[in-house]
Amino acid sequence: MSEIDLIQLATPGFFAAMGLEKIVLDRQAAAGNDTAIGFEKRDSIASLVMGTASLYVPLALNALLAPVAPGKGKYRKVLAGTAVGAAALTTVADALARREDDSKITRFAKRIRPSAGVAAVAAGVVTGSTTWAARSSAKRLWNAGGSKRDLGTGIAVTAGALLAWDFIYYWNHRIQHESRWLWAIHVVHHSSEHYNLTTALRQPVADVFGMFVPYGLMAWLGFRPRVIENARAVNLIYQFWIHTEAIDRLGAAENVLNTPSHHRVHHGVQQEYLDKNHGGILIIWDRLFGTFQREGERVWYGLTKNINTFNPLRIASHEYADIARDVARSTSWRERLSYVFAHPGWGKKQQTTDGEPLTLAS
């Protein structure tokens, strides 16, 4: 007998809840309450398309990367070799481009440096992310010793898995807001200027390019892979309902749980709301680690520089395009690595060689 997929089981409820939310918001608007932004047809369609894409695009990307995957890919050395070779070429081009003469070699170095730098960074990131994913998977860490510490099943184990997943989720969510490389993955979820249950389904499609605190650590501790998968599903299902303006405050529950009010703050673009309330089910992690912010003034949603599009391809790729642009303009490895790995706002204070400020779409 196959295991029950909790996400599939909950899917009809997701759509029923969206319909109910629409009814509630319409009634609130009819009663004169204009605080909710509500639905926008094209925005909601884009969110639903992104939700569907988040299920299938990762499968396609994994298949595409399989030939160069570390350890078993037929061409695994090609990707690493490309990263090293492009990095070496970029380093040489940097040195030659700094020369003050106008020789052919100097001009050639300046011409090839942008594309070489982008190739080096892209190949390096893919090499690192695929290697990390292969070495930190739940299956691998379970076979590497977790099975010897098998915690079994039961209420206590399930509760422990939920707590462990939520704790790791907090840190992974937080670092996705603090490193531009990971923000490029997560920005999809924040790209809507609306906030409703369809926004909950606007999920990233490029997790394969990220390096995160591995949930596989739970397997190493003795949680069975299926128990871990159920914890993931429960966490995801819980977070669906907090993406709404139809629910106000929840009294004492606000002290412990992540609620619609707390998560509205997380999606806010006001300065006091940025990079706050990263918890999944519990808000206690934010309280403990200094990232908690209570909802005050009315929240405005989206990005600090909105992309103004409902095109799913643009939604999924805009930050990667901006990163490639900034890396191509860079003249040193410090700049390149900062544009990729530093906080998403790092480039806003940097200057191009002609004195014009760079801005990010985040």
Q: Mean pLDDT across the chain, nearest whole number? A: 92
Q: How confident is the model at residue 356 (pLDDT cuts 50, 70, 90)?
A: very low
Domain residue limits at 312: 6-66+151-322
The DSSP code for 358 is: P
In a domain, 99, yes or no: yes
* pLDDT above 70 coverage of the chain, percent: 95
Q: How confident is the model at residue 345 (pLDDT cuts 50, 70, 90)?
A: confident
- Residues forming a β-bridge with 189: none
In a domain, 142, yes or no: no
Q: How many angstroms from the chain centroid is the CA of residue 342?
A: 15
- Single out the residue in 135, 164, 180 at which a domain terminates: 135
pLDDT at position 355 is 41
In a domain, 73, yes or no: yes
| Cβ proximity of 220 and 143 under 8 Å | no
**Residues 231, 99 share a domain:** no
**Residues 124, 90 share a domain:** yes
Token duo for residue 142: 């379970």
For 233-282, write each residue's pLDDT tens digit. Answer: 999 999 999 999 999 999 999 999 999 999 999 999 999 999 999 999 99
In a domain, 159, yes or no: yes
**Residues 200, 155 share a domain:** yes
**Residues 285, 169 share a domain:** yes
For 91-142, write each residue's pLDDT tens digit. Answer: 999 999 999 888 999 999 999 999 999 999 999 999 999 999 888 999 999 9
The DSSP code for 146 is: G
- Position of tokens 């609306």? 194
For 165-211, write each residue's pLDDT tens digit. Answer: 999 999 999 999 999 999 999 999 999 999 999 999 999 999 999 99
> Considering the entire predicted model, what is its pTM?
0.91
| Cβ proximity of 198 and 47 under 8 Å | yes
**Residues 164, 56 share a domain:** yes
In a domain, 354, yes or no: no
Q: Rounded distance, CA 114 to CA 358, Å?
A: 16
**Residues 277, 181 share a domain:** yes
Which H or E element spans position 169?
Answer: helix 155-178
Query: Residue 20: is its pLDDT beyond 70?
Result: yes
**H helices present in 66-103, as ranges:** 76-97
Cα 253 to Cα 195, 277, 280, 281, 309: the distances in Å are 21, 15, 14, 11, 36
**Residues 237, 115 share a domain:** no
**Residues 306, 192 share a domain:** yes
Q: Rounded distance, CA 339 to CA 175, Å?
A: 15
pLDDT at position 181 is 96
Q: Rounded distance, CA 297 to CA 187, Å?
A: 23
Q: Rounded distance, CA 36 to CA 195, Å?
A: 9
pLDDT at position 1 is 44
**Residues 267, 209 share a domain:** yes
CA-angle at 129, arms to 349 and 120, nearest 5°: 60
**Residues 178, 77 share a domain:** no
Token duo for residue 4: 């029950």
**Residues 60-84, buried b or exposed e (16+ Cβ, 10 A)?**
ebeeebeebbbeebeebeebbebbe
In a domain, 344, yes or no: no
Q: How confident is the model at residue 360 (pLDDT cuts 50, 70, 90)?
A: very low
Which H or E element spans position 173?
Answer: helix 155-178
Task: List the single range of 60-69, 227-236, 261-270, 331-340 with lowest mean pLDDT.
Answer: 60-69
Q: Report the candidate in 201, 221, 203, 198 with the shortest Cα–Cα distance to residue 142.
A: 221
**Residues 73, 39 share a domain:** no
* Domain count across the chain: 2
In a domain, 327, yes or no: no
| Cβ proximity of 119 and 86 under 8 Å | yes
92 φ/ψ angles, rounded to the nearest 5 degrees: -65, -45
- Position of tokens 């990971």? 182
In a domain, 328, yes or no: no
**Residues 245, 163 share a domain:** yes
